[in-house]
Amino acid sequence: MNKMSVTDIKDFKGKKVLVRCDFNVPMKDCVITDETRIIGALPTIKYLLEKGAKVTLCSHMGKPHSIFSAEVKLNKKDQQKVAAGQTTKEEIIEKAKKDEPKKLTLAPVAKRLNELLGGKVEFARDVIGPDANAKRDALKDGEAVLLENLRFHWEEEKNDEGFCKSLAYDAEIYVNDAFGTAHRAHASTAGIVEYGIIKTAVCGFLIEKELSVMADTLENPKRPFVVILGGAKVADKLNVINNLLEKCDTMIIGGGMAYTFLKAKGYEVGKSLLDEEKIEYCKQMIEKAEKEGKKLLLPVDTVVTSSFPDPIDAPVEVETVPSNAIPADKMGMDIGEKTRALYAEAIHSAQSVIWNGPMGVFENPTLAKGTIAVAQALADVHGKCTTIIGGGDSAAAVQQLGFADKMTHISTGGGASLELFEGKVLPGIACLNEKK
């Protein structure tokens, strides 16, 4: 993808730059519990500050959908409370307007950025109001301001043109460095450029790396090219399976979605997770792989239990059975030892690997062995193979297991990665200027 990056702009000194970051970090009691995304944004921010830009940073935090919106949709728990007569929709909305700004403010992020950047970051208490405008006006070369949570305005997700104009304010350059939201056609990710409000639009270093590694591997992979797909449901990855099957040499299937494929082969899967409506689709993919000469690897043995662990990390009794002989009263929870060896062998022979989705219920120590085995196999080929982790649970698993430094690239956006794997055009990428 031939998009301009910050390094393609020769002079930033004195220029007013709006940067879309992904500071949607986990917090507890307004304390940041994982600052990975903040650290990931620093190279782009530091580069712009060192070049003398006047930088306005913006991001969302969580889903404060109840804030000042006429289109409030209550979650299931609140709907039940209203139905039971315990409260009213209006009371829930009013409470949210008081509580959510405190829980979902970006103030702690601004504080941490200021510490990391040597006091060069101010915090604006609003997004498009008087405090934001005043602090943007007061910026000196090499200084930054972080705006409050974009999603405190419903117009952000609705891609409202008026909101885009107010958010742009007087910025001359737009930089998108939030790959995790690049698949969203929101005001701050796409609209601000698509409406022609800011003409110069480039990517930051994070997105540049995502595109150079992931997009290039998809378009021109070193072979053999192996794709590993796991996770719960086939329905979540329909187009991913179809698109990547055309590009790869070997596709490995694990996780809950494997049982629909096994069912499509005529096997009984007991109480395992099953997408009944997607059995025919799985048959088609199996036939497609055979027709196109692709290897489609499915579990040959399965770790089963009598019930899903509750809580998810609770001790659980397991046994390993052949995948074509899962008992009627058991459910598959992980790939077995023979399958781990089979999948590891395919990985060890690869030159390029993309992995998205765990092999089992990896949150449970007893049911994490398949996911660990795949992560270990990827670590084993470090330096000899391009290994890409497509965000989400796979990224979390690799990081938790201590293998992050053994991977070529760990994507910062699970949803965006999946859409890229599907072959979709991401709005937050498509709107950026092409290199000349």
- Known catalytic residue: 392? yes
Alpha-carbon span 370 to 316, nearest angstrom: 16
Alpha-carbon span 308 to 144, nearest angstrom: 49
Q: Give Cβ neighbours of residue 246 (< 8 Å, ≥ 6 apart).
A: 292
DSSP assignment letter at 52: T
Cis previous bond, 224, omega within 30 = yes
- Known catalytic residue: 233? yes
- Known catalytic residue: 112? no
Structure tokens, 64: 């404060």
- Known catalytic residue: 37? yes
Structure tokens, 307: 């019930």
Sign of CA dihedral 18, 24, 30, 35: negative
Structure tokens, 117: 């950047």
SS3 label, residue 183: coil
The amino acid that residue 107 corresponds to is A
Closest CA to 307 of 298, 316, 299, 296: 316
Alpha-carbon span 408 to 352, nearest angstrom: 10
Alpha-carbon span 58 to 364, nearest angstrom: 37
Sign of CA dihedral 409, 414, 420, 425: negative
> Do 354 and 227 form a contact (C-beta atoms < 8 A)?
yes
Neighbours of 158 (CB within 10 A): 14
Say which of 3, 15, 37, 369 is annotated catalytic: 37
Alpha-carbon span 210 to 408, nearest angstrom: 11
Say which of 231, 255, 392, 413 is annotated catalytic: 392
Chain-centroid distance of CA 105 in Å reads 21
Q: Among all residues, which ones are annotated catalytic?
A: 37, 233, 392, 415
